[in-house]
Structure 1
Amino acid sequence: MEFTLKSTIHYDVYSPTTFIFNIQVLNESQNQSILSESLQITPALPYKEFSLKGSKTRFIKLQANAFQPFKIEYQAHVAMQHTLIPKKKVSKNTSIFTLKNEIIPFLTPTRNCPSDKLMEFAFHLFGDLTTDLEKVTAINEWIYNSIEYVGGSSNANTTAYDTLNRKQGVCKDFAHLGIALCRALNIPARYFTCYASNLFPPDIHACFEAYLGKTWIVFDPTKLAELNQLVKIADGKDGSEIAVATLFGNAYCTNMTIECHQIDTHKEIIGLGTDFFISY
Structure 2
Amino acid sequence: MRISIHTQLDYDLPHTTDILLQMEAAQLPEQFVESAHIALSPVEHFARVAAHDDIGERIWIRASGRFTVDYRSTVSIDRLLGDLGSLPEVPPHQLPGETVQYMLPSRFCQSDQFQTFVDAEFGSLRGGPRVIAIRDWVASHLTYVPGSSSGSTTALETFVKRQGVCRDYAHVVTTLVRASGIPARVVAVYALGVEPQDFHAVSEVFLGGEWHLVDATGMAREGGMAKIGVGRDAADVAFLTAYGTALLNNQSVQVGPA
Residue 23 and residue 214 in structure 1: after superposition, are their counterparts in 2 closer, same or farther (change >3 A)? same
Per-residue deviation at 1:57?
A: 2.4
Aligned partner of residue 30 in structure 1, secondary structure? coil
Q: How does 1:1-280 map to 2 (within 5 A)?
A: 1-27=1-27, 29-52=28-51, 54-65=53-64, 68-86=65-83, 90=87, 92-129=88-125, 131-263=126-258
CA contact (8 A) 2:8 2:69 kept: yes
Q: Note closer, same or farther for the CA distance 1:54–1:121 as it changes in structure 2 (3 Å cut).
A: closer
Report how many residues are paired. Answer: 258
Unpaired segments of 5 or more residues in structure 2?
Answer: none
SS in 1 for 2:146: coil
- TM-score norm. by structure 1 comes to 0.88
Q: CA deviation at 1:194?
A: 0.6
Q: CA deviation at 1:87?
A: 5.0
SS, match of residue 97 in structure 1? helix
Distance 1:88 1:149 in 2: 25
Indicate the SS of the match to 1:14.
strand
Which piece of structure 1 moves more, 108-117 or 193-202? 193-202
Q: Deviations over 1:130-151 (max 9, x none)?
A: x221111011001110001110
Q: How far apart in 2 are the matches of 1:194 and 1:46?
A: 26
Output the CA distance in 2 between the equivalents of 1:160 and 1:5: 29
Aligned equivalents of 1:123 and 1:146: distance in 2?
18
Q: Post-superposition shift, 1:53?
A: 7.6
The two structures, once aligned, show a CA RMSD in angstroms of: 1.5
Structure 1 CA distance for aligned equivalents of residues 16 and 173 of structure 2: 37
Find the residue that maps to 1:5 and give its secondary structure. Answer: strand
Quote the offset at 1:101 in angstroms: 1.1
The residue type equivalent to 1:182 in the other structure is: V
Cα deviation for residue 231 of structure 1 reads: 1.0
Name the CA distance, whole Å, in 2 between partners of 1:187 and 1:243: 24
- Per the normalisation by structure 2, the TM-score is 0.95
Q: Determine which structure has the larger helix proportion and give its number.
A: 2
**Partner SS for 1:231:** strand
Structure 1: where are the runs of 5+ without partners? 264-280
Question: 1:193 aligns to what SS in structure 2?
Answer: strand
Shift of 1:54: 4.7
Aligned equivalents of 1:209, 1:142: Cα separation in 2: 16
Alpha-carbon distance change, 97 to 232 in structure 1, aligned in 2, over 3 angstroms: same
Are the aligned partners of 2:77 and 2:223 in contact in 1 as well (CA < 8 Å)? no
> Aligned pair in 2 of structure 1 residues 88, 207: CA closer, same or farther (>3 Å)?
closer
In structure 2, relative to structure 1, the CA distance for the partners of 1:227 and 1:36 (3 Å cut) is same
Displacement of 1:255 in angstroms is 1.0
Q: What is the rounded CA distance, in whole Å, between the counterparts of 1:54 and 1:230 in structure 2?
A: 19
